[in-house]
Structure formats: structure tokens, C-alpha cells
Amino acid sequence: MMPLDQTVALSSEQRLQQAHAHTVHILPLHWQGPLESARLQAAWSRVVARHAVLRHAFGQAEGYRGLRQAPLPQPPGQSLQLHMLPAGAAMPTVAFDLACGHVIQGWLVEDAPQRGRLLVAAASLALDERSLWLLADELWRRYHDQDLSTGEAFQYTDYVQWRQSLEEDDDARIGQAYWAHQAQQLEQSPALRLSYRREAGTAAAVPALLHHRIAEEMASALQSGQASGRWQVATVLQAAWLALLARLGQQSRIACAWQHDCRDDYEPMAQALGLYGKTLPLILNVPPQASLSELVNQLAAQQEQHVAAQEYLPDDLAARPPEIGLSVRHAAGRWQEGALQWALQWTASGDPRLSLALHVDLSDPAAPGLQLHYDARHYDAVSMTGLLRQYQAWLRELLARPDTACSELQWDDAAIWPQRLPMTAEVLPLGRDTLLTHIAAHALNTPHAIALSSAAGQISYGQLLQRVNQLAHWLQSQGVRPGAHVALVLPRSPELVMALLAVWRCGAAYVPIDPDWPAVRQQAILADAAPALVLHDGKAPAADGLHCALWPADLQGYSMQAPTVAPALQDLAYLLYTSGSTGTPKGVLIEHAQLLNYVVAASQGMGLAPCRCWGLTSTVAADLGNTALFAALLHGAELAIADASDMQDGAHFAAFLQRHRVDALKIVPSHLEALLDGGSAVLPATLVLGGESSPAALLRRIWQCQPQARIFNHYGPTETTVGVMWHACCASDAASGAAAAPLTRVMANCRVAILDADLRPVPVGGIGQLCIAGAQRSRGYLNRPPEDRQAWYRSGDLACHLPQGGLRILGRSDEQVKIRGFRVEPAEIEAALLQQAGVRQACVMPQGEPARLIAWVSGENLAVEPLRLALRDVLPEAMQPARILALPSFPRLANGKIDRRALLDALAESPAESGQGGEARAVADDLEFVVLDTMQQLLPATPALGRDSDFIEAGGHSLLAIKLVARLRKLLQIEIAPALVFDHATPAALAAALRAQAPDAAALAELAGLRRTLLEMPAAQRDALLEQA
């Protein structure tokens, strides 16, 4: 224990440093010339003895909490001694004994005649980095016997006691109120979210550093402005930095941590040693109309106010600064007298609490230097190097027009990032032939090659063309004329393919309608499309006032020769309906030229010509299926068409792929993931993933099943014809912790750009709307005002440029939500969830008013609480989901995409509404128990199920049914069709159905009893038993 009458408390600065009490600050000083070591030793001893803080002992004092400090009468011998090291020696590791006042140590090295190093290490509780520079400056002057200020040095204990006295003065309440207001402002200021910022777990910060010099002409402009009294150079550089980050983050205000040293404010402390630096939270408002001059004035005024109140900054506010930092250094690190020179190899150390901090070095006013400190967990060197180049370009624009609104200033961001994705792709000549002409050529050149295959058999290209021609003549007999619309209410089948080609033969356009759509939706589309004919297979709903016809059973009387009409490239190819923002489907008009460009550009870009058998597994009522459909027919390859039974589960899907020897497939990533869960270990050599982002976990699973698979990430809105961008996935895309696969190539003859609300290019680091133009932009929407097809199509998808090249889709612009005033992008939370172990899919949506965030995840062995804790480590408080639900898989729309409305509807249903009302009835036997337990595992968010609970009403859906069937097959060793689940949706009914179809009901009951015994065992006991088996 330390004597009470000699100790003082730690200062606020020391208390904040206490968690890092064993950190050591290093001062590496290089010297050159005639140096007298004995003279330097004497100067060192005098300097160390002069400052009491260099002999402070730290320890406990009876009656006080926490660490205390007191100066010893003399410094320890090892502190007074300047130790000698041999030439070339590295700096020794030092462990300071704080209780004995050992807080500083120096070494002298002569590496060569008249050349060497002075190395100084200091405990972080005693000295800060600026104190080390002041120590070096005083040591130089002592060595040369230069005049020093008379009297004793300002001692650190005086500073501590002065700070304590301020807590009771009249200004304390004003200062405390000032910082309380600042704290409120900080809570309302969004954190900076640069688009390329990576989320990180709980691991310690990984400090990294980049150096940069301000160009000579800008340094001159900065000095001229300061000389004229217009500004201070440091304030300009800091304001420009904050304005750039606000621009990239699309924020009108930005919070930062301003590192300020009060020795600049109090003359008696100017040369004092100790801890005087403070981290002051500062907020800069950056409205679009603000100019550099206005921002500089605002920043200078706020810094002045902060300085006036700095001694009242509460510890809790100082301990949690914003992630963005600012600091400045004016002092030079060079001394010279005659032939003797000293030079500091100075690098400011980064604050580990700050993920991105700019340190301005003004020691040479003619060449200001910048040090960019960043946390390598969040940012990489490529991004930070580009950010410094952006800062240089931005500063040049600001200095050239300091009174112009920042929103009007632009820089050439593409020149800064040479690897950035070009807006315009290559030009590819397409000729004048439509896809139909190409298909007809295959029928003439390779008539016996297989065109279509399905469970019903095979059709050659020669047979296909004959039947298409016959069907076209039949369609004409039904009144179909060039330019008409023909609705095809047909399932995925060879007949559907023949029908759409026959519609083209008539010069008409087809309107695909999924027979499984609700009748109300089908009727709405038919009413809007006004087709000349509705071709169906007997399952279409009544269409009042429209001409409807069944698929013709006999075409023998119709010619096999092509009709005299032929479609031109500018004619309409198909009319595809998408969901409208108003809830009313909108018909997208796609011409033959746009479709041809997509198919040819995709085939050339992704190298699809060698694929000889494409699997058609998606609905044609959404253009997802067009990739497989037309890529196969363009190249004279086989199109294997999967029916509903082929896609009922993973096992049937695998059998389909094997039976047809499918070597290429286009599919929604999450749909494929569900099929892989269902037992499919068979995959084709080429996979095109589209409709949603492709997570790294899925890429890893694909390559585990098919190591040689080519995987393409594919993107495009319906309005720009199937797809306009793609990316050949590589190993880095599948790395653990990787974000969803990027997009790095643009389809030939297309243009893409990421633009802001004013259609200006968004720089790297920012987020904007992906806009598309070029050869694949649709004609527009049916029955809607015409659009300017030369203008940009605004996709509604948020995107960002990647520093390494390419771009990434981040979500929908209309999904943005405000949580307690903060702008939140659900896609960002989804990305954070997808980086957690075991999470394969994630969906985040707002619910209710005021909005709260609900997150759904699926994967293996997911527990909600660990996910919640993990998100707290990587996302701001406002972005934390109010609820996380773990599901085995997500409900799907017909096109394979996540059915978000179904997720919200299921969440909104009360237990009574979902068939779970009342007390759940106990199971009647072991088989019911196994079925119920398996259902419950698949519906973890649902209240306890009973034997009469309806699996579908409780939240089950087609993909969950696939998983239920797969698990029951494994548990009970019995064949089950997924349709059985929908026909017998309760545990009691399904168990009865299984019992009825079992070859040996007694054996099934015995196996169910064994399974129940295992399921009811404690997990550890069950695992031990299974290990012995």
C-alpha cells in the first residue's frame, strides 16, 4: 500500500488508459554526426530527474478504490541510466515495474561511426506520444546547454489536482450540460457505413497504416489561405476529410473523435510531460448545399467550443468515441547543430477504438503529410489506398471552388480506381436473325439431334420444327395474327416450349401464366394482356370474354411448313408479368432483339456453347427459366424439362439430373440449397445462380459435391431481359467470412452504372441505385405511358462498386427502413447474419408501426441467442433485430425466390389462427411421437404442436415438406412422397398414412419405438450410445 498523504488519483486521461496500462510507447530517434555519449548521458539524467512524472509509482492506497499514483524522491537507477547496445541491435523488450516508479528507459546504439539510434520506451500511464517528442526536444537542448525556461517543470500532479478542483467550480455545471447535449447529439448521429466495410467479430483490432503526401499545388493553396487569414490548414484538411466520408456514406451529419491536446491551450503546460491528450466527440453537419468555407467555419467554431469545455468531458463519453478519428501534429521531428543531426522516425500510434482515423502531419508546411490508420478487420489496403486517392481528388476540387456547394463538386472516380467495372461492355454484332431462325437452322442441319426431353420421351430438332409449324398453323386458325398476344396457361413441359415457339411463328408474342397461380392473379393478367387466345391444358380458370382453347390433341391436318409470316427483331417476343409496387401485376414488353442479345451475350460471356444438356427446372412465367430454355436451343443442345415430381425433393432432383445427364442448370441459390439439404449430391458441371445473391456457404457446398463445377453469379431485372451482369465464381468467393458473390462482367452491348438520386455516378465507397441501359432494355410496360428507352432504367436495387473491381447488390432501395430515426438497410443485417457460423440464408424485414426488425435465418444447428450476441458485436444498436427466428428453410414463390409476404403472414398469425389453439393433445403411439417431433424440429418458432396440429397451417410449406419427408425416410426407413404431407398434414393423420402404406406395420411400429427411446434420451447419453453402435 502507498502512503495516503503522498498519492493522487489518476487523471481522466490515465483512467481511460488504465485498461492498457502495460502498453509501451516507443520513440525511435536516429542521430548522425559527432555525438558525445557521456554528454548525452548527463543530459538524459537531468531531463529524467526534472520531471516528477518520470518517477511516478502506481499502486493501491488504503481507503481508496482503484489505482493511485505518487512521485518518488528519486527515479529508479535503470530510468536515469542511458543503456548502451551493440551496433545493429534491436530494441529490447521492456517490462516496466510501475509500483517502483520504473516508467521510462533509454538505450543508445552506435550502428556505424557517427551514426546510430537513441531508443526510448515509456509506460503509457506516464507519458503520451507528444510527451516523448517534448522529451527529445528538451534532451537536445540540454545536450547543447541551450537556455531552458527558468524554474521547475510543470508537474503532472499539479495538473491532476487542478482538474479535480474544476469539478467544484461555477463552470462545472455548464460544462457538464454541454457534454450531456453532445451525448444526445451523438446518439442521433448514424455511424459511418462505407460500402466496403467488413463486419468483424469480437477479436482485437488489427491496426494498419498508410502514408500519403498532399500534392505541392494543393499545399501551396492551403498555405495561401492560411496566410490571408481565411482558414487554418489543419481545419481545412479535417473538414475536407469529414465531408468526403459524409459524401461516401450519404450522410448529412457525421460524428468523429477529435484528438486534442490541452497543452496547446495553457501556456504553463506547453512543455509538460504526462498524459494531456483528449478524445473529444465532434459532430459536423454536412448539408448538400454547404461549401468548404462554411464547413471550415462550422468545424472551427465547434472545436473552439469543445476546447472551452474540454476539462469537463465525462469519462463515459470519452471512453466510447465514434469510430472515425481526427488528429494533427505541428511539431517537427528534426534537430541540427553543426554536423550533428537528430531525426525522429515518427508515426502516430492509432487508437484501437477507432476503425478509421486520419492523422495530419504539418511539421513541414510545404508538404503536409497524412497518416491513415485503419482497422484491418474492417478495411483492406486496396480500399484504403483508393480512399486516400479520393481524398486527394476531393481536396483538389474543394480548394479550386471553396465557396461552391459540395453537392455540385465531382471528381473522376473511375480514374482513381483503374480496376473499377466499366460502365459500357464490349460491342457484339448480332446479325439480323431471330432466335427462331437459329433454332430452325439446327432443325435443318442436325435434324436428329435431341431438342427436348422429359419423362414423356424425347423430341428431335427436326420433329420440334415440324410440330411448331403445325401448331403455328393451328394458332392462325384460332385467330392469332402478327402482333397479337397469346396466353400460355401450361405447366413446365415440352408442350409449353413448342407453344411459345409456335406463337413466334405466327409473328405474335406469348404471355406465360403459371397454372399454379391463384385464379384471381391469372384473371387479372388475362384482363390486362387481352390475349387473342388463351391456350391451356384444361386447368385454366374461366376467362370471360376471351377466346380459350385446349391444347390440340391432333395436328395431322396442318402443314409442317413454316407460315409465311416471320417475326422481326423489333417485334414483341413475350409479355412477362412482374409484381408491381402498387400490388397490381405489370406486363413487361420484351422484343426479339433484346432476348437475342441476352442469349448470345450470355452464351459468349459465360462460355455456354459447350453445355449440351440444360435442365429446365424453373417456371417460364418468370424469366429465370429463359437462360436454360434459350441457351440450349440457340446452340442446338438438349433441353431436359423437369416436371413437378422431379423437383419434389433432393432425391428426385438428383435422379432427374442423372437420368438426363444434365450438364448445365439455372436455379435460384436458396432453392438449390434446399434441394441439397433434401439429399441431392448430384450437380451438373455448369451452374448459373440467379434471382438472389449467392452466399459463400452455398458455393462451398456445391464444390464439395462437384469440385470441377463452373459457377456463375447472374443478375438482371425482368425489365432488362433476364440478366445484364454475371461473375465467374472463384475460390475467394467461397472463403469463410466472404460476402455474397460479386458481379464483375456486363453483358455485351449493355451499360450499367451506380447512380445517386440525381443520376450522378456514385464513387467507390458509396451506395447508389443500379441503373441499366443498352440493347436489353425492354420496350416498357403494357398499358402504361411509353418510356425513354435511351435513358437509364432504374432497377431499384442498391449496389456499390467494389475496390477490387466489380460491384455487389446490397438490397432494394424500397426496403430501407427507419428505426428510431436511423436509416437501416435490412440487406446489411442479412450480410452480417450470413457471416455467422452455420447460417446459410437470412432475411430481414421491418414489422409493425413503429417498425421493428425481424430476422429469419436457416442453416444447420442454429441457436438464436448466440446469433443475437454475435450481431451485438458487429452492428450498431439500432440495427439489432428485435426478434430472430430460425427456420429449416424459407417459403418460396413460383420462381424460387423467398416468399417474404409468407414470412410476415406466418409471423402475424396467432396460435389460434394457425391451428394451434387450445391445449395440444398428446400423441397416441410411438409413430405419432416421431412424426410430431420431426415436425416440431422443422417449426422451432411455432408453439408446441399436438397430434392434431396442422403442419401446413403452422408454417410448413413445400420446401419444409421436402425436408420433413427426407428426415422421416431416414428415421423410419420408409419411402414417402412429399404429397403425402399435404394430404395428411397432422402428426396423427400422417402417422396413420405411413402405417397404412408400410409393407410391415409391426416392423414400422417397432422401429418407431426405438427412435422414440433415442429421441427422449438426454443428448449426451444418446450421442454416447450412437458412438458405440
**What are the grid coordinates assigned to 390, written together?**
479520393
Closest CA to 99 of 221, 2, 34: 2
Instruction: Say which amino acid occupies 523.
Output: Q
- State the CB neighbour count (10 A cutoff) for residue 360: 22
Q: What pLDDT shows up at residue 917?
A: 40
Residue where one domain finishes, among candidates 728, 762, 795: 795
- State the CB neighbour count (10 A cutoff) for residue 319: 13
Does residue 533 belong to any structural domain of this protein?
Answer: yes
Which residues, at least 6 apart from 417, have a Cβ–Cβ distance to it below 8 Å? 386, 764, 801, 803
Q: Say yes or no: 347 and 236 in one domain.
A: yes
268, pLDDT greater than 70: yes
Q: What per-residue string of b and e applies to 446-466 under the rule 16 or more CB within 10 Å gives b?
A: eeebbbbbbeeeebbbbbbbb
Distance of CA 160 to the CA centre of its chain: 46
Q: What is the CATH number of the domain that holds 855?
A: 3.30.300.30
Of 222 and 23, the one with more pLDDT: 222
Q: How far is CA 883 from CA 838, 840, 856, in A?
A: 18, 18, 8
Q: What pLDDT shows up at residue 944?
A: 77
Provide the pairing of β-strand 457-460 with 207-213.
unpaired
Q: What is the 8-class DSSP label of residue 303?
A: H
Helix 461-477 vs helix 494-505: angle between axes, to the nearest 10 degrees? 60
Cα separation, 563 vs 947, in Å, equals: 61
Mean pLDDT of the residues in the chain: 89
49, pLDDT greater than 70: yes
Q: Say yes or no: 319 and 370 in one domain.
A: yes
Cα separation, 142 vs 72, in Å, equals: 23
Does residue 809 belong to any structural domain of this protein?
Answer: no
Residue 1001, helix vs strand vs coil: helix
What's the pLDDT band for 542 if we cut at 50, 70, 90?
Answer: confident
Residue 878 burial (C-beta neighbours within 10 Å; 0-12, 13-18, 19+)? middle
Q: Say yes or no: 152 and 239 in one domain.
A: no
Q: Say yes or no: 978 and 857 in one domain.
A: no
Residue 893: domain span? 816-908
The secondary structure of 432-488, three-state, reads: CCCHHHHHHHHHHHCCCCEEEEECCEEEEHHHHHHHHHHHHHHHHHCCCCCCCEEEE
97, pLDDT greater than 70: yes
Q: What pLDDT shows up at residue 48?
A: 96
**What are the grid coordinates assigned to 735, written together?**
472463403
What's the pLDDT band for 914 if we cut at 50, 70, 90?
Answer: very low
Residue 304 burial (C-beta neighbours within 10 Å; 0-12, 13-18, 19+)? exposed
Does residue 403 belong to any structural domain of this protein?
Answer: yes
Cα separation, 447 vs 432, in Å, equals: 23
- State the CB neighbour count (10 A cutoff) for residue 163: 16
Cα separation, 661 vs 663, in Å, equals: 6
Element of type H or E holding 809? strand 807-812
Of 874 and 972, the one with more pLDDT: 972
Is residue 467 within 8 Å of 555, Cβ to Cβ? yes
916, pLDDT greater than 50: no
964, pLDDT greater than 90: no
Write the pLDDT tens digit of every residue in 235-248: 999 999 999 999 99
Of 670 and 733, the one with more pLDDT: 733
Does residue 810 belong to any structural domain of this protein?
Answer: no
Mean per-residue pLDDT, 647-675? 91
List phi, psi (to 5°) of 259: -90, 115
**What is the model's pTM?**
0.80
Closest CA to 10 of 61, 51, 80: 61
Q: Say yes or no: 210 and 157 in one domain.
A: no
Q: What is the CATH number of the domain that holds 1009?
A: 1.10.1200.10
177-183 long-range Cβ contacts below 8 angstroms, 24+ apart? 178/305, 178/309, 178/312, 179/309, 179/312, 179/313, 179/314, 179/317, 182/281, 182/283, 182/317, 183/281, 183/317
Distance of CA 946 to the CA centre of its chain: 41
Does residue 803 belong to any structural domain of this protein?
Answer: no
CA angle 47, 51, 53 (to 5 degrees): 135
Of 629 and 554, the one with more pLDDT: 629
The torsion angle over the Cα atoms of residues 865, 870, 874 and 876, rounded to 10 degrees, is 20
Q: What pLDDT shows up at residue 327?
A: 92
Q: What is the CATH number of the domain that holds 502?
A: 3.40.50.12780
Does residue 430 belong to any structural domain of this protein?
Answer: no
What is the residue-wise DSSP string for 37-92? HHHHHHHHHHHHHH-GGGGEEEE-BTT--S-EEEE-SS--HHHHSEEEE-TTPPPP
Closest CA to 956 of 964, 968, 948: 964
Q: Say yes or no: 386 and 246 in one domain.
A: yes
Cα separation, 304 vs 322, in Å, equals: 19
In 348-405, the DSSP E strands lie at 356-361, 369-375
Q: What pLDDT shows up at residue 849?
A: 62
What's the pLDDT band for 520 if we cut at 50, 70, 90?
Answer: confident
Is residue 897 within 8 Å of 668, Cβ to Cβ? yes
Query: How many domains does the structure of the chain reveal?
Result: 5
Tell how many helices (H) and how many strands (E) occur in the chain. Answer: 30, 40
Cα separation, 667 vs 676, in Å, equals: 12
957, pLDDT greater than 70: no
154, pLDDT greater than 90: yes
Closest CA to 890 of 692, 664, 654, 689: 692
Write the pLDDT tens digit of every residue in 544-565: 889 999 998 789 999 999 999 9
Q: Say yes or no: 550 and 689 in one domain.
A: yes
Write the pLDDT tens digit of every residue in 271-306: 999 999 999 999 999 998 999 999 999 999 999 999
Does residue 996 belong to any structural domain of this protein?
Answer: yes
Q: What is the 8-class DSSP label of residue 831?
A: H
Write the pLDDT tens digit of every residue in 782-818: 999 888 888 899 998 899 999 989 999 987 777 767 5
Cα separation, 659 vs 455, in Å, equals: 10
The torsion angle over the Cα atoms of residues 8, 10, 13 and 17, rounded to 10 degrees, is 150
492, pLDDT greater than 90: yes
Q: Which of 120-134, 695-709, 895-909 has the lowest mean pLDDT?
A: 895-909
Element of type H or E holding 175? helix 172-187
Closest CA to 805 of 728, 879, 749, 895: 728
Residue 913 burial (C-beta neighbours within 10 Å; 0-12, 13-18, 19+)? exposed
Residue where one domain finishes, among candidates 908, 942, 965: 908
Q: Say yes or no: 858 and 781 in one domain.
A: no
Q: What pLDDT shows up at residue 19?
A: 81
Percent of the chain whose pLDDT exceeds 70: 93
Does residue 416 belong to any structural domain of this protein?
Answer: no
Is residue 313 within 8 Å of 278, Cβ to Cβ? yes
Q: What is the CATH number of the domain that holds 38?
A: 3.30.559.10
Q: Say yes or no: 989 and 899 in one domain.
A: no
Is residue 19 within 8 Å of 98, Cβ to Cβ? no
Q: Say yes or no: 48 and 79 in one domain.
A: yes
Element of type H or E holding 750? strand 750-755
Cα separation, 1022 vs 638, in Å, equals: 50
Q: Say yes or no: 155 and 174 in one domain.
A: no
Cα separation, 266 vs 311, in Å, equals: 12
Q: What pLDDT shows up at residue 920?
A: 54
Is residue 827 within 8 Å of 879, Cβ to Cβ? no
What's the pLDDT band for 147 if we cut at 50, 70, 90?
Answer: low
Residue 635 burial (C-beta neighbours within 10 Å; 0-12, 13-18, 19+)? middle
What's the pLDDT band for 193 if we cut at 50, 70, 90?
Answer: confident
Instruction: Say which amino acid occupies 253.
Output: R
Closest CA to 629 of 752, 741, 507, 504: 504
Mean per-residue pLDDT, 626-632? 97
Find the distance separating the first CA and the last CA of the chain, reported in whole Å.
63
Q: Say yes or no: 474 and 593 in one domain.
A: yes
